[in-house]
Amino acid sequence: MPHRRTPRLVATDLDGTLVRSDGSIAPRTKRAVLAVQDVGTVFVMVTARPPRWLHDLSDLVGAHGIAIVANGAILYDVGARRPIRTSLIDPAVALEVAQAIRAEIPEVEFAIERPDRYGQEPRYVNRWPTPDDTLVAELEILLAEPTAKLLVRHPSWHSDELLAKISPVVGGRVAASHSGGHSLVEISADGVSKATMLADFAAEQGIAADETIAFGDSLNDLPMLAWAGTSYGVANAHAEVLAVVDEVCPTNDEDGVATVLEQLFDL
C-alpha cells in the first residue's frame, strides 16, 4: 500500500471493478463498503450506468444517498430517484457530432441516455432489456433534447478501435471514451468526466483529492484515477489503466476493492 493514512473518500467504478462479472456484489464487498462508511469515510459509486441501474444498489450509497452516474454527467440522489445536478450535451452539438460520425463510419447506430429516459434508433442493437418507455426514433428526434450520453455502437469493431476512429472526428466538441462495453463508445459533453463531478462532490464534502482513493478498470475511469490521491486498478483492467495507476489489486471476481479496503481500514 502506498500509505496508511485512512482515506476520507472512497470512489469506485461499478461494472468490471466493484461488481463481479456475473453482475452481483459479493457479500464480502458489501461488508467492506458498509464498514468503511461506519467509521465515517464517504463512499461514492462513480459509474457509466444510467440512473435507473442504480436503484438495486441503494443500500450501498450511505447516508448522503448520492451516486455519480452517466460518466459524470449526472449527480444523482438514488433514494429520491432524481438528478441533483447535470452536465448535458447541447442538442445542436450532439446532432452535429452524430452526423459527422455517421459520415465517417456509416454502419454505426446511436442511442441516448437522458436523465429520465433512454432512447435509440430503430436498428440499434441493445444488449440489455429496453425500458418500457424507450424512445425509438430517428436521430433528429432522439437528439432534440439535451442528453447525458450519446452511445455509438458498431456491429463488429472492438471498442478501442471504434474510439480510435471516432476521436479525431469529434475533436474537442465532446468527450469520447468507453467503459469496456462491446463495440460501444460513450460520448459526453465537452469537459465532462467522472473526475469533474467527483471533484465537485468531494469539494462539497470538504474533502481534497489527496484524501481520496479511487478504483477503476476502463478508459472512462482514467480521469478519475488521475484526480484521486491514490489510484487502484483491478487486475482485469484495461492495459492503459494498469499502466498508470498507483497500485494494482485483485480482479473484480476476486473482490479486489474489498481486499484493499480491508487492508487500509484494518477490517
Identify the segments of the chain with pLDDT beneath 50.
1-3
Give yes or no for a contact between 61 and 79, defined as CB atoms under 8 angstroms apart.
Answer: yes
pLDDT score of 63: 87
- DSSP type of residue 192: -
Q: Minimal CA–CA distance to 231: which of 204, 203, 260, 196?
A: 260
pLDDT score of 129: 87
pTM: 0.95
pLDDT score of 4: 57
pLDDT score of 1: 42
In degrees to the nearest 10, what's the CA dihedral of 12, 14, 18, 22? 180
Give yes or no for a contact between 47 and 68, defined as CB atoms under 8 angstroms apart.
Answer: yes
Backbone φ and ψ for 27, nearest 5 degrees, come out as -55, -40
pLDDT score of 2: 45
